Amino acid sequence: MSGSIINVSIDGRPVAVAEGATVLDAARELGIDVPTMCYLKDAKPFTSCMVCLVEDTASQKLLPACSSLAQDGMTIRTDTAQVHEARQRALELLLSEHVGDCEGPCRCACPVHLDIPRLLRAVGRADWRSARSIVDDAQPPCVGEQDCKAPCERVCRRNQVDAAVSNSHYGSISSRSVIPSLPRDLLIIENTGDLLRQAQHRLSTSLEMTDQTRHECLQNENCCAAVSIRAVVRCVAGLDVEATAGPSVEAFVRNVSVIGKLMAEEHPVMMRDVSAASRVVAVDPDGGYAADEATREAARCMHCDCRKGHDCALRDYAIAYEADQRHYAGGGRRPFEQITQHADILYEPGKCIRCGICVRITEREREPLGLTFIGRGFDVRIGVPFEGSLAEGLREVARDCAEACPTGALCVRKEAQQ
Amino acid sequence: MSEIDISQVDAIIDGCGTARSEAITILTSIQDCFHYLPQEALDRVCERTDCTPAQLYGVATFYSHFRLQPAGAHRVKVCIGTACHVKGAGAVYDAFRRHLAIEGDDDTDADRLFTVEKVACLGCCMLAPAVQIDRTTYGHVTQAQVGGLLRDFLAAEAQRAKADGSKVLRGAGVAGEVRLCRCTSCEAAGAGAVWEATHAAIQALHLNVRLQLVGCTGLSFEAPLLEVVGEGGDAFRYGMVRADDVEATLLRHFQPAGLHRRVTTRALRWLDRCVDSFEEHEAPFRYAADIRETIASPYWQRQDHIVLDGAGEVGPLDLTAYRARGGFEALQRCHARYTPDEVIELITASGLRGRGGGGFLSGLKWRQTATAAEGMRYLVCNGDEGDPGSFMDRMILESFPFRVIEGMAIAAFAVGAGEGIFYIRCEYPLAVKRVREAIQMCVDAGLLGEGLTLRVAEGAGAFVCGEETALLAAIEGQRGMPRIRPPYPSEQGLHGQPTLVNNVETYATVPWIVAHGPDALRQLGTPGSPGTKTFALAGRIVRGGLIEVPMGTTIREVVEEIGGGVGEGHTFKAVQIGGPSGGCIPARLADIPIDFDSLHAEGSMMGSGGLVVLDDSDCMVDIARYFLAFSQDESCGKCTFCRVGTRRMLDILERLCAGEGRAGDVEELEKLGGWVKAGSLCGLGQTAPNPVLSTLQHFRDEYEAHIAGTCPAGRCKALIRYAITTDCIGCTRCAQHCPVDAIPFAPHERHEIDDELCIRCDTCRQVCPSNAVIIRSHNPRS
Ligand SMILES: Cc1cc2nc3c(=O)[nH]c(=O)nc-3n(C[C@H](O)[C@H](O)[C@H](O)COP(=O)(O)O)c2cc1C
Ligand code: SF4
Ligand code: SF4
Ligand code: SF4
Ligand code: SF4
Ligand code: SF4
Ligand code: SF4
Ligand code: FES
Ligand code: FES
Ligand code: FES
C-alpha cells in the first residue's frame, strides 16, 4: 500500500504526491502559498494555529493543510472567500490576546520612521556602524534637525515610567496616554516624498496636547523623563563612520499595537535591565551628545518595540489578511511580561501563540529540562518544567527555538552587527 | 514544606513500573498518598523513571485531579454539572466556601481540614445538587445543610474504622431477602446508612433474612430503594428509605425469631413519629414490586432493557447470577461457532451505532481495526463520561461490569486484540473498583479466553479525554490533547498500533446482539438507529434516573410518561440533550423521535445521553453560558478557534448575563460560533457552540431581552432583585437562613431585604413557608 501515488487537485491544478503527504506538501509542490505558523518541518504536525485552513470542495469543510493527509481524488481550494475569512478570524483571535507592540511608540511618532529602539541598542553597545546605517536608512535620513519637534520624545514610554517619580509638570502630560490616541494601524505609507508632511499632520491631529503643554515640554527638555533621542541621533549623524547599508525601511509600517498606557505593575518589567538614571545632560547642548554620553543615554531606552518586528509571521499575516486586532478585543489585556533569565534570548509570553514549536524542538533535541505546556485551555502557557529558569530550560537550543518561534515570543536578545 | 517519606514514592514507582506511559498512574498514586504532588516526589519520579520533567509537569498541570499545593485533609467536591447547576449548585459551592471562611484564590480552610473544589459531574444527577467528600457522596444538598453535612462527615469518618466487613448474611433456610443497591447515587442518597441499619436490624431481630447487594434498578429518583422479598416470593419496594425506617419496614414482612417487647415498642414508636413529624420526614413511598401496575408503571412500560437487563435483581459482582441469566454464553458461542469475521458481520448486520456520541457504525469500525496493519492490536473501552449531566456509563460499569467485559472479550476476538483497557474517570471510584474485581473474577474463572488481558486505566480529570485521540494520549501517559484524524485509532491508535475504541454501552450491547441475532436489534429502535439507548434523565423532572428506551422514542414520551413531567406549577420548556456538545430542543418540538439523525437535524446531538429537562424557571441564556463555560474550561488549549474562540464567545455571554450586552452581540455570537465549529481541531471545539447556537435558534427572544436588560426567567443575578410581599407571616425563617444577614430579624412583622447586602442566593425563597419571597426583574439600564 505504501509508496502509492495520490492525485489531488488544488485551486484547479492537479498534482501527484506520495502517500502520507499532507495537503500542505501538495500545495507547496505546486508553488501555492499556504500560511503556516505552528508547522515545523520534519516534525509531527501539531495542528494548533489554524491559519493554514483550506477548503475541501466536496464537503465544503475547512481542513488544516499542514496536517491533513492528501487523499486520492481530493479537490482543495486555498483561494475562496471562506478560506480567507477563516484565516483572518484565526489571526484576529490570536491577536485578541496578544500583548506586545511591533514598533515602539517613538518610531511610530517619528515622521521618517527612524527605527529608534534598534538605533539605541546599537548605540548602547557602541556599534557605531550599525547605528549609522540605521540613521541613514530613514528616509529622508533623520539628522536630529533642530526644526523637528522630536515627537518621538514626547511619546516615549519612559515618560510613563519616570513620571511617577518626577514632580515636574511633565507628569501631567504623561499621565494621559498619548499612545492610544494614535491611529492604531498606522498608515500604509508608500509615497516617501510625502512622508514628513503626512506624519506631521498626523501628529498634530492625533496628539492630544495643547500648544501650551507642548511648548512647555519642549522648553523643559532636561527635566523630561523621555529618552533624549534627538541628541543621540545628532551624535550618530555627526560621527564619521562608514556605514554599510542596513535593511531598508519596510515599505509600510503597520503596527500591531496593544500596550498603550503601561499598567503600574508593568513599570518594573519594562525597566528590568534598563538604566534608571535620569536624562544625560549633554556637555555641549547644541551639538548633541558625545559618544559616551550617547551610550549612557541609550541605556535608558526600555525597548518598547518587538525584537522580531521584521521577522514575525503573526505580523506579516495580520497585514496580509487585514486582520483587525480589535475585532475580538474587549476581554481586557493581560499585563506585559518579559522573562529575562536567559543571557541570549528573551521570552515575552504575551506574544506566544502556543504553537508548541519550541516545545517540540527541546523534546527532539533532548534538552535536559526543556520547555513544556503548562496548564490547559485558554490559560495554557509555555514554560520551563517545575517553573525553573529559562536559562536552565534552554541550555542547548535556545537560539534554535528563538529562530523557529513564529512570533516575537522567543527572540534573540542581541541583534547582529551590521 | 515538610519533608516527605521518599520510600513511599519508591514503592509507588516499583508498583507502577518506570515506563513513560505510566506517568498518570504514578502521579495518581502519589497524589492518593500525599493528597498533592510534592516536588521531591516529582523529582524522584524523574530520576527513577523514563518520564521527563517536561512530560511530568505538563501532565501534572493538565489534569484537574492533580494539585501541586498541599490540600486539606479532606476534599469537598461540589458538583457543578448540568443537573446540579440547574438545581442551584453554584450557591451550594459558595455556601461551603462561606462556611469554611475560604476567601480569594484559596480553596482550603485555615485549619487545612477541607479543600473545596468544583467538579463537572459526580454521576448522581438525579440527586442534584450532589457533593462528594473524599469517597462519600451526598445528594440533594442545600445551602442550609452545609454545616451539618461537614459535621456528619467528620463523625462518620471517626466511625469508619470500626465498620465490620461481613456484609452479606447467608444461612440455611433463609426466609426472605432484602435487596439494596449501593451504587454511587444510592450511597449519595443514604444507602450506606440504610445498609448498616438493615444489617443491624436483621441481627437485632434475629431475622432469617438475607441482605443482598444488587445493581442499579434505574429508579434512582427513589433512591435508596429497599426491596423486600418475602417468603412467598412476593416483593415489595420501598423508595427513599431512611435508616430509621428500616426496622419497622422489616417487621412488616418478617416475624422476628422471638418477639421482644422492646422491638414492638420501638415499632410503635416509629409509627407514632411517622404521624407526628410529617413535616420533617415524609414517609417512604411504598408499593408492591410488581410495579407494572403501580405508580412507577409508566416508568417501566416505555423501557426496554438490553444493557440494563437484570436491573435491581442481580448483584453487580455476582458472576454466578450473571451466568445463570445467560452471561458469557455469547462469548462462548463466538469462540465455538464463529470466525472473527463472522462476528464482525453480525455486528455490521445489526446496524449497531456507537453509543459514545458520534453514532459511528460499530461494525465498520471493527472491520477497519481488524484489517489494519499486522501486529499488536488494542481495545479500549471509553468510560470517561465527562458530560456534566450523564451517568449511564457509570451505572453500567458499577452494576453490570460482566456485561461490558463480555462485550469487550467478543470485540477482542473479532478484531484480534491482545490487550483491552478500560479508561474510567477517577470521579467514579466505585466503577473502577468493581470493574477491577470483575476482571479478576473472569480471569480466575478462565472466561476471557486465550491471549487477552484486560486492565483499568484511571482518568485524572479532563473532559476532553473522552475524545478518542486524547484518551489514547492519556493512556500513553501524556497530556490529553487530541490530534488530527485521519489516521484514525483503528489504523494508528495506542502506541501507534490499530486500536478499537468503543463506548461502555456499545460494548454492553454486543453480547445481546450475539445472543439474539442482528435482526432482534433491528426490531427495536428505528431503521437508522437500531436498538435501545440509555439516558440519564435529570433536571426539572419528577422521576429522574437511568432509563433505557428504544431509539425513536419521542422526547415527550420520555419527559412526560417516563419522567412524570416537570414539577407542579411549572411548564416544560426544553430539554438539553447530549450535554455540552448537544443542544436544547424546545418543548414545541418534543414530538421528535430521539435517534442520532433526528437530533442532528435539530442542531443537537445524542452525545453520551445526558437528558436534562428544563422548565420555565430556567434561563436559556444562562444555560448556554453554563455549557459554554464548561467547554471553555475543558478545552485542551491546543487550537486557536477552541482555545481563544470559546473564550471570546463566553465574554459575550457573560456580558449578556451581567446585563451589559451591547447591540450586535447576538449576531457576533452567532458568527463566531460558526467559526469555532468550522475551525476547531476536535469534537470538543466543533460542538462547543451547539448549546449557544441551538438556544439562539429557538429562544432568540431571551437573548434580545438580556440585551435590553431583563432576564425573563429571573435567573441572572445582575438582572433581578429579591423582595418580600405582604404574604410574609413574620416567621423569621428567611432571616435565620440568609447567609449574609441581608434580612433583619423582625418577628411577627413583614420582613425586608437589604438589596445592597443580598447576594441573590435564593435561600430565603426556598425556606419561606408562605411563598412571600419573590423575584423581581431589575433592569440595570433603567
Ligand atoms: C470532547 C469529547 C468527549 C467525548 N466523551 C466521550 C465519552 O465520555 N465517552 C465516550 O464513549 N465517548 C466520548 N466521546 C466520543 C469518542 O471520541 C469516541 O467517538 C467514542 O468513544 C467511540 O465509541 P463508540 O463508537 O462506541 O461511540 C467524546 C468525544 C469528544 C469530542
Ligand atoms: S510578536 Fe509579531 S505581532 Fe507581536 S509585537 Fe512582535 S512583531 Fe508584532
Ligand atoms: S528627532 Fe529625529 S527621531 Fe525624533 S522625531 Fe525628529 S526626526 Fe524622528
Ligand atoms: S523607551 Fe525607548 S523604545 Fe520606548 S518609546 Fe522611549 S525610546 Fe522608544
Ligand atoms: S514561544 Fe514561540 S515557538 Fe514557543 S509556543 Fe510560543 S509562539 Fe510557539
Ligand atoms: S478543539 Fe479544543 S479541545 Fe479540541 S484540540 Fe482544539 S483546543 Fe483542544
Ligand atoms: S436575602 Fe438575598 S442573600 Fe439573603 S437569603 Fe435571600 S437571596 Fe440570599
Ligand atoms: S500550520 Fe496548520 S494548524 Fe498551524
Ligand atoms: S452529579 Fe451533578 S450534574 Fe451530575
Ligand atoms: S438503584 Fe442505585 S442508582 Fe440505580
Return the HEC string of B647-716.
Answer: HHHHHHHHHHHCCCCCCCHHHHHHHHHHHHHHHCCCHHHHHCCHHHHHHHHHCHHHHHHHHHCCCCCCCC
pLDDT of A281 reads 81
Distance CA B398, CA B181 (A): 10
Nearest CA to ligand 7 atom 8: B761
Based on the fold, state whether residues A118 and A264 are members of the same structural domain: yes
- Mean pLDDT (whole number) for A30-36: 97
Q: Which residue on chain A is closest to B461 by alpha carbon?
A: A376
Contact B54 A45 (CB under 8 A): no
Cα A371 to its chain centre, rounded Å, is 22
Amino acid at A163: A
Q: Please answer whether residues B634 and A377 qualify as being in contact, where contact means their C-beta atoms are separated by less than 8 angstroms.
A: yes
Torsion of CA B515, B518, B523, B527, to 10 degrees: 150
Mention every residue, 6+ apart, whose C-beta is less than 8 A from residue A59: none
* pLDDT-based confidence at residue B314 (cuts at 50, 70, 90): confident
The shortest CB-CB distance from B61 to any of A48, A64, A374 is to: A374
Distance CA B684, CA B678 (A): 12
Query: Which of B45, B46, B52 is the best mutation test for A, with the most CBs of A within 10 A?
Result: B52
- Mean pLDDT (whole number) for B768-774: 94
Q: Does A139 touch chain B (CB under 8 A)?
A: no
Torsion of CA B547, B548, B554, B560, to 10 degrees: -20
Residue A164 has pLDDT above 80, yes or no: no
Based on the fold, state whether residues A146 and A292 are members of the same structural domain: yes
Residues with CB under 6 A from ligand 1: B 354-358, 360, 362, 382, 384-386, 464, 466-468, 501-503, 506, 608, 682-684
- Mean pLDDT (whole number) for A267-277: 87
Based on the fold, state whether residues A282 and A191 are members of the same structural domain: yes
Nearest CA to ligand 5 atom 8: A355
Q: Does B486 touch chain A (CB under 8 A)?
A: yes
pLDDT of B299 reads 62
pLDDT of B294 reads 37
Q: Please answer whether residues B86 and B128 qualify as being in contact, where contact means their C-beta atoms are separated by less than 8 angstroms.
A: yes
Q: Chain B contacts of A50, Cβ < 8 Å?
A: 639-641, 679, 681
Please state the φ and ψ torsions of residue B775, each to the nearest 5 degrees.
Answer: -105, 130
Whether A319 is covered by a domain: the verdict is no
Whether A261 is covered by a domain: the verdict is yes
Residue with cell 456528619: B152
Nearest atom, ligand 9, residue B82 CA: 3
CATH no. for residue A14? 3.10.20.740
Amino acid at B600: H
* pLDDT-based confidence at residue A228 (cuts at 50, 70, 90): confident
Q: Please answer whether residues B543 and B559 qualify as being in contact, where contact means their C-beta atoms are separated by less than 8 angstroms.
A: no
The shortest CB-CB distance from A386 to any of B39, B479, B641 is to: B39
Q: To the nearest whole percent, how much of chain B has pLDDT over 90?
A: 61
The C-alpha cell of A196 is what? 514628513
Whether A294 is covered by a domain: the verdict is yes
Based on the fold, state whether residues A274 and A215 are members of the same structural domain: yes
Residue A176 has pLDDT above 50, yes or no: no
Contact A369 B58 (CB under 8 A): no
Based on the fold, state whether residues A122 and A158 are members of the same structural domain: yes
Please state the φ and ψ torsions of residue B756, each to the nearest 5 degrees.
Answer: -65, -40
Whether A56 is covered by a domain: the verdict is yes
Mention every residue, 6+ apart, whose C-beta is less than 8 A from residue B280: none
Q: Chain A contacts of B42, Cβ < 8 Å?
A: 386
pLDDT of B277 reads 30
Whether A200 is covered by a domain: the verdict is yes
- Mean pLDDT (whole number) for A354-363: 97
Q: What is the mean pLDDT of chain B?
A: 87
Based on the fold, state whether residues A178 and A289 are members of the same structural domain: yes
What pTM does this model have?
0.86
Last residue of a domain, one of A79, A94, A124: A79
CATH no. for residue A400? 3.30.70.20
Residue B576 has pLDDT above 60, yes or no: yes
Q: Does A61 touch chain B (CB under 8 A)?
A: yes
Mention every residue, 6+ apart, whose C-beta is less than 8 A from residue A151: A109, A110, A111, A203, A207
Around A46, how many Cα atoms within 13 Å sit in the side-chain half-sphere? 26
- Mean pLDDT (whole number) for B200-219: 75
Based on the fold, state whether residues A147 and A293 are members of the same structural domain: yes
| Span B472-483, pLDDT tens digits | 999 999 999 999
The C-alpha cell of B527 is what? 431503521
* pLDDT-based confidence at residue A332 (cuts at 50, 70, 90): confident
Residue B284 has pLDDT above 50, yes or no: no
Whether A233 is covered by a domain: the verdict is yes
Residue B268 has pLDDT above 50, yes or no: no
Q: How many domains does chain A have?
A: 3
The shortest CB-CB distance from B643 to any of A51, A359, A377 is to: A377
Q: What is the mean pLDDT of chain A?
A: 80
| Span B150-191, pLDDT tens digits | 888 888 877 765 543 333 333 334 567 788 877 777 777 778
Secondary structure, 3-state, A289-312: CCHHHHHHHHCCCCCCCCCCCCCC
pLDDT of B235 reads 62
Q: Does B53 touch chain A (CB under 8 A)?
A: yes
Q: Which of B9-23, B122-136, B188-202 has the highest mean pLDDT?
A: B9-23
- Mean pLDDT (whole number) for B41-70: 96
pLDDT of B305 reads 84
Last residue of a domain, one of A241, A273, A298: A298
pLDDT of B202 reads 80
Q: Which DSSP state fits B581?
A: G
> Please, what are the domains in chain B?
6-62 (no CATH), 74-162 (3.40.30.10), 176-276 (3.40.30.10), 319-523 (3.40.50.11540), 619-713 (1.20.1440.230), 717-777 (3.30.70.20)
Q: Please answer whether residues A354 and A288 qualify as being in contact, where contact means their C-beta atoms are separated by less than 8 angstroms.
A: no
| Span B734-756, pLDDT tens digits | 999 888 899 999 999 999 999 99
Quick one: which of B325, B301, B515 has its CA closest to B402? B325
Element of type H or E holding B583: strand B583-586
**C-alpha gyration radius of chain B:** 26
Q: How far is the CA of B599 from the centre of ligand 5 (A)?
A: 40
Residue A254 has pLDDT above 90, yes or no: no
* pLDDT-based confidence at residue A314 (cuts at 50, 70, 90): very high
pLDDT of B161 reads 52
Distance CA B696, CA B476 (A): 40
- Mean pLDDT (whole number) for B530-536: 93
Residue A280 has pLDDT above 80, yes or no: yes
| ipTM of the complex as predicted | 0.85
Based on the fold, state whether residues A220 and A339 are members of the same structural domain: no
- Cis ω for the linkage preceding B53 (within 30 of 0): no
- Mean pLDDT (whole number) for B133-157: 84
Residue A198 has pLDDT above 70, yes or no: no
Residue with cell 485521519: B486
Our separate counts of H helices and E strands in chain A read 17, 9
| Span A369-399, pLDDT tens digits | 999 999 999 999 999 999 999 999 999 999 9
Whether A409 is covered by a domain: the verdict is yes
* pLDDT-based confidence at residue B10 (cuts at 50, 70, 90): very high
Query: Which of B50, B69, B492, B638 is the best mutation test for A, with the most CBs of A within 10 A?
Result: B638
Separation in Å, CA of A369 to nearest CA in chain B: 6
Based on the fold, state whether residues A120 and A236 are members of the same structural domain: yes
Mention every residue, 6+ apart, whose C-beta is less than 8 A from residue B667: none
Nearest CA to ligand 6 atom 4: B682
Q: Which residue on chain B is closest to A95 by alpha carbon?
A: B644
Q: Chain A contacts of B467, Cβ < 8 Å?
A: none
Nearest CA to ligand 3 atom 8: A110
- Mean pLDDT (whole number) for A217-238: 67
Q: Which DSSP state fits B733?
A: H
Query: Which of A96, A372, A395 is the best mutation test for B, with the most CBs of B within 10 A?
Result: A372
Contact A380 B643 (CB under 8 A): yes
What is the SS3 assignment for A153?
helix
Contact B61 A375 (CB under 8 A): yes
The C-alpha cell of A290 is what? 558625545
- Cis ω for the linkage preceding B429 (within 30 of 0): no
Q: Which DSSP state fits A84?
A: H
Give the bridge partners for B212, in sequence order. Answer: B179
Distance CA B137, CA B122 (A): 8
Q: CA angle A192-A195-A199, nearest 5°?
A: 155
Taking only residues 346 to 375 of chain A, the set having a beta carbon closer than 8 angstroms to any beta carbon of chain B reads: 353-354, 359, 362-363, 369-375
How many residue pairs bridge chain A and chain B with CB atoms within 8 Å of each other?
121
The shortest CB-CB distance from A377 to any of B486, B635, B641 is to: B635
Q: Which of B242-256, B379-393, B500-514 has the highest mean pLDDT?
A: B500-514
Distance CA B37, CA B25 (A): 13
Separation in Å, CA of B624 to nearest CA in chain A: 19
CA distances from B93 to B80, B90, B630, B649, B761 (A): 8, 5, 16, 25, 11
Ligand 7 pocket mutation pick from B762, B768, B778 by most atoms within 8 angstroms of CB: B762
- Mean pLDDT (whole number) for B496-508: 97
The shortest CB-CB distance from A371 to any of B54, B636, B645 is to: B54
Our separate counts of H helices and E strands in chain B read 33, 20
- Mean pLDDT (whole number) for B196-204: 82
Q: Is residue A358 within 6 Å of ligand 5 at its C-beta? A: yes
Whether A393 is covered by a domain: the verdict is yes
Residue A205 has pLDDT above 60, yes or no: no
| Span B28-39, pLDDT tens digits | 999 989 989 999
- Mean pLDDT (whole number) for B53-67: 96
Residue range of the domain that includes A48: 5-79
Q: Please answer whether residues B619 and B715 qualify as being in contact, where contact means their C-beta atoms are separated by less than 8 angstroms.
A: yes
Based on the fold, state whether residues A23 and A119 are members of the same structural domain: no
Q: Give A395-402 contacts, CB < 8 A, sequence gap 24+.
A: A395/A367, A395/A368, A395/A369, A396/A365, A396/A367, A397/A361, A397/A362, A397/A365, A397/A367, A398/A342, A398/A344, A398/A345, A399/A344, A399/A345, A400/A361, A400/A365, A401/A345, A401/A357, A401/A358, A401/A361, A401/A362, A401/A371, A402/A344, A402/A345
Q: Chain A contacts of B645, Cβ < 8 Å?
A: 93
Residue B227 has pLDDT above 90, yes or no: no
The pairing of strands B419-424 and B378-383 is parallel
Between residues B12 and B157, the one the model is more confident about: B12
Last residue of a domain, one of A271, A298, A325: A298
Residue with cell 476476538: B413
Q: Give B194-198 contacts, CB < 8 A, sequence gap 24+.
A: B194/B224, B194/B226, B194/B241, B194/B242, B194/B243, B194/B246, B195/B167, B196/B163, B196/B243, B197/B243, B197/B244, B197/B246, B197/B247, B198/B226, B198/B246, B198/B250
Q: How far is the CA of B673 from the centre of ligand 5 (A)?
A: 26
Lowest mean pLDDT among A34-38, B371-375, B617-621: B371-375
Based on the fold, state whether residues A275 and A143 are members of the same structural domain: yes
The shortest CB-CB distance from A385 to any of B54, B643, B651 is to: B54
The C-alpha cell of B10 is what? 519508591
Based on the fold, state whether residues A159 and A263 are members of the same structural domain: yes
Q: How far is the CA of B764 from the centre of ligand 7 (A)?
A: 5
